[in-house]
Amino acid sequence: GMVLGNAITGTSLALDRFLNDLTTNRGQVEALLALGATRWEAAHTTVTEALRTGMIPTINSMMVMGLVSLPGMMTGQILAGALPTNAVRYQIVIIFTIAAGTALASLGIILLAFRALFSQQHQLRLERLHSKDDLVRNSHAEKKWLNLRRVISYLKSRQGLGSREEWSSK
């Protein structure tokens, strides 16, 4: 349970950072691809930063473990009469298992997103982030908006309204 909970937090942070960095730095990534870089070379910095971001909560909890916070499992074992050295050993195993689980889960989700967003021909395909229904809906909305603009332009020309100010005053 602890491993899964921490892994979910790490993967959500890593994936969010990966997608945000790709959309923000799209021009830079596409420029690298256009200059002959492979998809991995173009996205290497983005992948590294996403993995680092995904590991931040786990690393922070490892830094303060035993100093600021007392882990529940270790405290419970000591209160139950176990040797403190054994309790500490179990806690170390658990925290390293949590760190490994978070790292593997974050790496897995980033690699899956990487494969989905980069084609075999080394092209960035950010349009794959949206479902086809969203794209169809957006294209229909865009067509309706263009039709509405045409109708407004037609009505303005029929009434002899030239500027926006003239149109809003009548």
CA-angle at 124, arms to 46 and 14, nearest 5°: 30
pLDDT at 76: 84
Q: Give the Cα separation of 5 and 48 in Å (integer).
A: 22
Q: How many domains does the chain contain in total?
A: 2
**Domain check: are 32 and 84 in the same one?**
yes
Residues of the chain with confidence (pLDDT) below 70: 67-69, 131-142, 144-145, 156, 159-170
pLDDT at 92: 86
- Residue 86's domain spans which residues? 2-129
Overall pTM surpassing 0.85 (yes/no)? no
Q: What is the pLDDT of residues 12-50, one digit of tens each?
A: 999 999 999 999 999 999 999 999 999 999 999 999 999
pLDDT at 20: 92
**Domain check: are 71 and 20 in the same one?**
yes
Distance (Å) of CA 126 to CA 56, 100, 117: 26, 30, 6
pLDDT at 77: 83
pLDDT at 105: 95
**Domain check: are 119 and 135 in the same one?**
no
